[in-house]
Amino acid sequence: LDEESANIKHGEFREAFQTLSAKTYAAVGDTDEAARLSALAAETHRVAVDRENSRILPKIPIIGRLVAAKINDWNKNLVTSMDAAVAEGKAPLPVAAHKVDDLAPDVPTWIKIICSLTMAAGTAAGGWKIIKTLGHKMVKLQPVHGFAAETTAATLLAITGAMGMTVSTTHSITTAIMGVGCAKRFNALKFSLIERIMWAWVLTLPAAGGVAYLLVKTFRLVGWIP
């Protein structure tokens, strides 16, 4: 177990492995080994937090803390899931193993290929139109404005990603460009175009959900998925 955990580079995975190993030894009554592995997991957590703090915290204080909190929260969630399994009369180790496996789900290759091709086709078909709309039609951007908008969107996505929040990159960069336009002057924005964009955002949610629903139903009918 020590050799296996040493080969795991990512701090979160290593901590999860050591925590699960400690729970395993505790379940079979080897309290000494369980305590040793628990101490190793705590040390792994401390090293991961220190690494994130030293790498990110001096630059953007809030992001380092958020990443550190994410690592700590995962370990707490693991323990909570195992305690809940015990309370329900279930074996805690399979529950913990499943939770660890969720960190790196085995996505079928055909799904990766279809998603990649679909995203590439969408970008090829409408990418330039989107660039013209955001960079020329909605507001006239200069390089400094593009830098400000991209930095804002990237910072927002980094923070929300560390918090586990699902945020659209397109929505982030679009609203950042709107903010840049407002900083120039309010009448620099074409509000008729912004209204159309807002309507597109509202309609995208049910439309995407409906298409996904129909695709899943179709795949089940033809027997591609259970």
Number of separate domains in the chain: 3
- What's the domain range around 14? 2-101
Claim to verify: residue 8 and residue 97 sit in the same structural domain? yes
**pLDDT for res 210:** 94
Closest CA to 161 of 66, 86, 77: 66
Claim to verify: residue 79 and residue 96 sit in the same structural domain? yes
- In DSSP notation, 43-61 reads HHHHHHHHHHHHHHTTTSH
Claim to verify: residue 53 and residue 32 sit in the same structural domain? yes
- Residue at which a domain ends, from 52, 83, 101: 101
Claim to verify: residue 6 and residue 95 sit in the same structural domain? yes
Claim to verify: residue 79 and residue 61 sit in the same structural domain? yes
- Residue at which a domain ends, from 66, 101, 136: 101
Taking the CA atoms of residue 136, residue 139, residue 144 and residue 150 in that order, the dihedral angle to the nearest 10 degrees is: -90
Radius of gyration of the chain from Cα atoms?
A: 24
Claim to verify: residue 118 and residue 38 sit in the same structural domain? no
Claim to verify: residue 94 and residue 123 sit in the same structural domain? no
Claim to verify: residue 129 and residue 118 sit in the same structural domain? yes
For residue 132 the two structure tokens come to 């013209």
Q: Give CA separation, 151 vs 71, 125, 155, in Å.
A: 25, 26, 6
Claim to verify: residue 32 and residue 70 sit in the same structural domain? yes
Claim to verify: residue 177 and residue 140 sit in the same structural domain? yes
- Residue at which a domain ends, from 39, 69, 101: 101
**pLDDT for res 61:** 44
Claim to verify: residue 123 and residue 178 sit in the same structural domain? yes
Q: Give CA separation, 70 vs 76, 85, 134, 140, 173, in Å.
A: 10, 22, 34, 39, 25
pTM of the complete model: 0.47
Average pLDDT per 10 consecutive residues for the chain, totaling 226 residues: 58 69 80 83 76 53 47 62 77 65 60 79 81 81 82 86 80 88 81 88 90 90 80
**114 exposure class (CB count in 10 Å sphere: 0-12, 13-18, 19+):** exposed
